[in-house]
Amino acid sequence: MKVKNTDTPIWDRRRPRTLFSGLMTCGSCGGGFAKVNKHSFGCSTARNKGKSFCENMAMISQAELERLVLGALQDNLMDEAALAVFCEEYAKERNRLQAVAASNRGSVEKELAQTRKDHAKLVDAIIAGVPADQVKDRMLALDARRIELEGQLISDPAPSPLRIHPKMAETYREKIGALIARLQEPDSMPEAKDALRGLIDRIVLSPTAPDGKLSIHLEGALAALLRLGSGGKSNQGPGSESQAFEYNEELVLVAGVGFEPTTFRL
């Protein structure tokens, strides 16, 4: 099915019109940035509601915006220094969470030991001559609780050491370069666009004095950046496992909740 009088499939109308449509934000008023002419973006609020709402009338061409943002994605959002800082902060947060988990695990292990001990006492009682039917229900209850507690320990294993892949930043840059190259291939362009968009939380465009040009503040989606750097796909694609960290799911959880987005100012 296609849009009337076009060769465009109807589902393509849901795709962003440009590579970074919907991700751009005005640094002055917080409104959206959209096409103001064929080639350039500008603040929608300033143009639709007037300068009393926003005075940011600066524009940036689509070509320049995409050049700068793609360059930042490839060269600045995953350099070794930034990764080292993140790993240090991540380790601190991970240790804090592990301390909480260790406390909970200790309680479960203590109860499990007592449950096994109580069960063993009942077995000894039967051996000593106590009729089995008198302790049967209690033994079944202890057995069920033992299985439940053992399941908790299996599903929440003891934390392991943090392991950072030494080539994480290099892998990230290689994958970004490959995605950018695929933007030129018609068959793979839509998927490449989605993957690149998935690495960005937002792009903040603010006027700079006195020339009135726009500065670009790029906020990267930290979990997606790290997933890609570890050899997986960005969060817009199918899920894939990561080998950069011992527990990638935990990493994504911590990165998504405990840390600010990775940022870079152009």
**Which H, E and C letters describe the chain, residue by residue?**
CECCCCCCEHHHHHCCCCCCCCCEEECCCCCEEEECCCCEEEEHHHHHHCCCCCCCCCEEEHHHHHHHHHHHHHHCCCCHHHHHHHHHHHHHHHHHHHHHHHHHHHHHHHHHHHHHHHHHHHHHHHHCCCCHHHHHHHHHHHHHHHHHHHHHHHHCCCCCCCCCCCCHHHHHHHHHHHHHHHCCCCCCHHHHHHHHHCCEEEEEEEECCCCCCEEEEEEECHHHHHHHHCCCCCCCCCCCCCCCCCCHHHHHHHHHHHCCCEEEEC
pLDDT of residue 80: 67
d(CA 242, CA 235): 12
Which parts of the chain sit beneath pLDDT 50? 1, 3, 8, 10-12, 235-261
Predicted local confidence at residue 101, as pLDDT = 74
- 111 occurs within a structural domain: no
Look at residues 251, 262, 202 and name the one whose alpha carbon lies nearest to residue 20. 202
User: Which pLDDT value is given to residue 43?
Assistant: 95
Which residue is it, tokens 């030991």? 113
Q: Domain span at residue 74?
A: 10-80+165-265
The per-residue pLDDT for 211 is 66
Per-residue pLDDT, 46: 94
pTM exceeding 0.75: no
Q: What per-residue confidence (pLDDT) applies to 164?
A: 58
- Total tally of structural domains belonging to the chain: 1
Phi (first) and psi of residue 142, to 5 degrees = -65, -40
Q: Answer whether residue 69 is part of any domain.
A: yes
Residue 59 lies inside a defined structural domain of this protein:
yes
Give domain status of residue 112, yes or no. no
Residue 189 included in any domain: yes
In this prediction, residue 205 carries a pLDDT of: 92
In a domain, 187, yes or no: yes
Give the per-residue pLDDT at 154.
84
In angstroms, the CA 58 to CA 43 distance is: 8
- Residue 125 counted as domain residue: no
In whole angstroms, give the CA distance from residue 242 to residue 238. Answer: 13
pLDDT of residue 172: 76
Domain contains 124: no
